[in-house]
Amino acid sequence: MIDADVIIVGAGPAGLMLAGELGLAGVRPLVLERQPQLRKTPKANGFNGQIVELLRYRGLLHRVETASGRPIRPAPAAPFGGVNLDFSHLADPVPIWAVPLPQPRLERLLGERADELGAGIRRGHEVVGVSQDDATVTADVRGPAGPYQMTTRYLVGCDGAHSRVRDTAGISFPGITYPEVNRLAQVTVPDSVTRLDNGDLDVPGLGRIRAGFTRTDRGVFGLGSLAAGVLLIQTTEDEPAEADDDAPMTLTEFQDSIRRVLGAELPLGEVTRLSRYGFQARQAERYRDGRILVAGDAAHQFPATGIGINVGMMDAVNLAWKLAAVVGGWAPSGLLDTYHDERQFAGARALLQTQAQVALRRGEDLAAEALRELFLELLADEQPLRRLGALIAGADIRYPMPSRSQAALVGAFVPDLPLHSDQGTSSVAELMHTARPVLLDLAGRADLRQTARDWQHRIEIHTAETDHRPADALLIRPDAHIAWAATRGEPAGTAAPALREALFRWFGAPENGGRM
Ligand SMILES: Cc1cc2nc3c(=O)[nH]c(=O)nc-3n(C[C@H](O)[C@H](O)[C@H](O)COP(=O)(O)OP(=O)(O)OC[C@H]3O[C@@H](n4cnc5c(N)ncnc54)[C@H](O)[C@@H]3O)c2cc1C
């Protein structure tokens, strides 16, 4: 007997986003989370990147903003391999949006949304093993009332870096662990330490400590400001032992690390957060093994901060509608495998830029200094700075698509075009609230609307005008990526068959059951 169509292991950002997106697609998953309560200590203090746009497309940004209590704003800067990228002077469009929402509050919000959309969430239930056959997956669970088993059609491991699901499914996780430890604290400083207007600190007996990163013989000292006089301080030291991100860190351990890195004492006031983490560069060799899939940190680890939530939640958005199609019994052949193809590709891009950061950050000799200096010099120009911003945000991802659909936009995240129609003005973002696929006719193309009508049970058809038409028509998937585009003025003789092929490929058979 099937207990749930989909079981999600882990109620972190990836698992809860997946639960909500599956709910939008009409599937009611069950989430099993080993922690009895929401975690209190944030891992991430916030997140950024393309997922912010996606949340806006889902109409969720106001909820995120309310939960944060602070406005979502363009990131004025971003750390990149120990150098600071300054975006503050760039006009629209903004390269990266930053959301100052600590992870526990993000998880609360995503959990509430998943619950509203019909997902079940069981906290205090740990999955200790998984096995699968041709038709089902069985999860061995340890719950508050003892061990039990659950059977599902598909199981997704969103259970973090040390994923039990990934390991028991035999999915290898190759890569490296860097021999360094980062220690992070949110602190205030006593009156004896002066906070200067530019963010620097003046410390008695030590002198000035710059905002940003300070390299010393023993490591790197990072200094940033949060709201209300709170500082974010981080030390980075080379240490051979692997850091345990989940093990608690004491204040003494943190102060000892500061003393080693700076060579002197830094007086601290109130300490509201202490955590330790290491860096790994790893990626699951397969994101799918039969009926078991992995997403989020279970699928990838990046050796830089500020990346994980964006990539993990975008995994979930990509997977949800495909999994729902399989569960709903209408998925075209190979659809679920495109989850691996597309998101492993996206993860590899994130690994590319984060490993480049390691090379920039960890180099200690004069050659490395020269590289950092040259790198900053190149980024004085707007174009490379924007390009790097898009790379960090994951906004430049263009999923590899079948050969016949190579129009410039295909595979990319759909831009938020303003849409004018008889009903008034809206935007692409508004069309994506319900996560339904859309054929968007921007040029009065009756031929294309006619073709799409056979798939009206799966997709919505909209006609509108826009200010600067990038294409005659766009086929937009539920994850807000463009599956197909008609170039401007493309004749019906080529556009309509290509649309038909794309509709078959992504949304299966037409309503009347016709063939391709
Ligand atoms: C100190 C620190 C700072 C960070 N800062 C940032 C940042 O600023 N921005 C950013 O984007 N990212 C940041 N990250 C990374 C970010 O926290 C992760 O990328 C993110 O949490 C990954 O989400 P996830 O849902 O994939 O996994 P997780 O958040 O790890 O969630 C996995 C969940 O699965 C549960 N679980 C595990 N095993 C089982 C099991 N067997 N059965 C049931 N449940 C299980 C866990 O309890 C957990 O709740 C930071 C990480 C650390 C450690």
CA of 312 to the centre of ligand 1 (A): 9
Residue 299 CA, closest ligand 1 atom number: 26
Residue 364 burial (CB < 10 Å; 0-12/13-18/19+)?
Answer: exposed
Count of C-beta atoms within a 10 Å radius of residue 502: 24
Counting every residue written for the chain, the total comes to 516
Longest dimension (CA), the chain: 80
For residue 454, the 8-state DSSP code is G
- Strand ranges (E), 218-262: 219-225, 231-238
- Residue 245 Cβ contacting ligand 1 at under 6 Å: yes
Q: Which two tokens stand for residue 80?
A: 């990149």
CA of 81 to the centre of ligand 1 (A): 22
- Residue 164 Cβ contacting ligand 1 at under 6 Å: yes
Looking at residue 463, its amino acid is T
CA of 148 to the centre of ligand 1 (A): 25
Count of C-beta atoms within a 10 Å radius of residue 328: 15
Measured CA distances, 211 to 83, 206, 387 (Å): 12, 15, 25
What sign has the CA pseudo-torsion 401, 404, 405, 408?
positive
Are the CB atoms for 103 and 14 separated by under 8 Å? no
- What 3-state DSSP class applies to 266? coil
- Residue 58 Cβ contacting ligand 1 at under 6 Å: no
Are the CB atoms for 309 and 350 separated by under 8 Å? no
Residue 503 burial (CB < 10 Å; 0-12/13-18/19+)?
Answer: buried
353: nearest Cα among 49, 24, 2: 49
Rounded to whole angstroms, how far apart are CA atoms 438 and 445? 15
Q: Residue whose CA is closest, atom 13 of ligand 1?
A: 44
CA of 37 to the centre of ligand 1 (A): 14
Residue 229 Ramachandran class (φ > 0 left, ψ -120 to 50 alpha, else beta)? left
Which H or E run contains 175? Answer: strand 175-177
Q: What is the pLDDT along the chain (516 residues), one digit of tens a residue?
A: 899 999 999 999 999 999 999 999 999 999 999 999 998 777 888 999 999 999 999 999 999 999 999 888 888 888 898 788 889 888 887 889 989 999 999 999 999 999 999 999 999 999 999 999 999 999 999 999 999 999 999 999 999 999 999 999 999 999 999 989 999 999 999 989 998 888 899 998 888 998 888 888 889 899 988 777 889 999 999 877 776 777 788 999 999 999 999 998 899 999 988 988 889 999 999 999 999 999 999 999 999 988 999 999 999 999 999 999 999 999 999 999 999 999 999 999 999 999 999 999 888 789 988 999 999 999 989 999 999 999 999 999 999 987 555 577 999 999 999 999 988 989 999 999 999 999 999 999 999 999 999 999 999 999 999 999 999 999 999 999 999 999 999 999 999 999 999 999 999 999 877 655
- Residue 318 Cβ contacting ligand 1 at under 6 Å: no
- The pTM for the full model equals 0.94
CA of 103 to the centre of ligand 1 (A): 9
Rounded to whole angstroms, how far apart are CA atoms 405 and 399? 11
Are the CB atoms for 140 and 125 separated by under 8 Å? no
CA of 160 to the centre of ligand 1 (A): 5
- Residue 508 Cβ contacting ligand 1 at under 6 Å: no
- Residue 127 Cβ contacting ligand 1 at under 6 Å: yes
Residue 159 CA, closest ligand 1 atom number: 34
Q: What is the pLDDT of residue 49?
A: 94
**Helices and strands: H and E segment counts in the chain:** 13, 30
